[in-house]
A and B are shown apart, each in its own frame.
Chain A
Amino acid sequence: MTYVIGANCVDVKDLTCVTECPVDCIFEGDRMLYIHPEQCVDCGACEPVCPVEAIYHVDDLPADWLWHLDAAAEATAGREEVEPVPDPPTVLALPARPANG
Chain B
Amino acid sequence: MSQQVTPVSRVVIRFAGDSGDGMQLAGDRFTAQTALFGNDVSTFPDFPAEIRAPAGTLPGVSAFQVQFADHRVTTPGDAADVLVAMNPAALRVNLPELPRGAQIIVDADEFTPRNLVKAGYPAGVDPLTDDSLADYRLHAVPLTGLTVEALRAFELPRKDAERAKNMFALGLVSWLYHRPTEATVAYLREKFAARPHLAAANVAAFTAGWNFGETTESFAVSHEVPAAPRNPGRHRTITGNRALAYGLIAAADRAGLPLFLGSYPITPASDILHELSRHRQFGVTTFQAEDEIAGIGAALGAAFGGALGVTTTSGPGLALKAETIGLAVSLELPLVIVDVQRGGPSTGLPTKTEQADLLQALYGRNGESPVPVLAASSPGDCFDAAVEAVRIAVTYRTPVVLLSDGYLANGSEPWRVPELDELPTIDPAFATGPNAVDAAGAPCFQPYLRDPHTLARPWAVPGTPGLEHRVGGLEKADRTGEISYDAANHDLMVRTRRAKVDGIARDVPPLTVDDPDASAEVLVLGWGSTAGPIAAACAEVRAAGGSVARAHVRHLDPLPADLGTVLARYRRVLVPEMNLGQLARLLRARYLVDVESLTQVRGMPFKVAELRTAIEKVAADV
Chains A, B in direct contact (C-beta < 8 Å): no
- Residues of A near any B CB (own CB < 8 A): none
- Residues of B near any A CB (own CB < 8 A): none
